[in-house]
Structure formats: structure tokens, C-alpha cells
Amino acid sequence: MKSPGYCESIPDEYITSCTPEVQSILQTLRNVIRESAPEAREKISYQMPTFDFHGNLVHFAAFKKHIGFYPAFSGIEAFQDELKRQQANRKRRNRLRAEREGSA
């Protein structure tokens, strides 16, 4: 039995309403989430495709110029160390870019 709010066809409709290029990106993202969290159920929440596993796990959405990926707080908390490393790497790249542009 499917849980309340579960509806795979609605996320499908959301994805197929996008341009073919965006559909491909969203479908790839969807497949990665399905592989990573096979027990999660799909639904629409906050007008976005959402994976639910004991509460909202992650939302994603297409916008005019970007794809949004919105993990739940529990996901952010679980990967806090990895996210800190990513932030440090981003700051380092930005500093190097600014130094390069300053010397040009």
C-alpha cells in the first residue's frame, strides 16, 4: 500500500513539462536519488518533486536558469564534514581566481 501523498505520476508530469534538455538533467538526478535511497517514495511537496523517507528527504526543481536541489536538514547534518570541505575548496578556488585576475 502506498503512503498518503505518494504519486509517481505527478513527479513524472513535472519532469515532462520541462524542455527535453532539462528533462534529461532532472531524470538523471531522480535516478541518482532513487539509487541512493531506494526505500524513499516520490511525491510533490512545496510544488517540487520530493523524495520522502520518514519525512522529506530531498526536493529538486527546474527554474529558468538553474536546477535547484534542496536536501532536508537531516541530510545537511549527516554530510556536514563533506560540506565543510567543499566550502573550503570553493573559497580556495575563488581566492586563486581573484589573484589571477588581479595580476592580469
CATH class for the domain made up of 1-71: alpha beta
Q: Other C-beta atoms within 10 Å of 86: how many?
A: 11
Indicate left, alpha or beta for 24 from its phi (over 0: left) and psi (-120 to 50: alpha): alpha
Provide φ and ψ at 15, rounded to 5°.
Answer: -65, -45
Q: Is the pLDDT of residue 74 over 80?
A: no
The domain ranges of the chain are 1-71, 73-104
Tell me the pLDDT tens digit for each residue of 11-55.
899 999 999 999 999 999 999 999 988 999 999 998 999 999 888
Q: What is the pTM of this model?
A: 0.67
In this prediction, residue 3 carries a pLDDT of 42
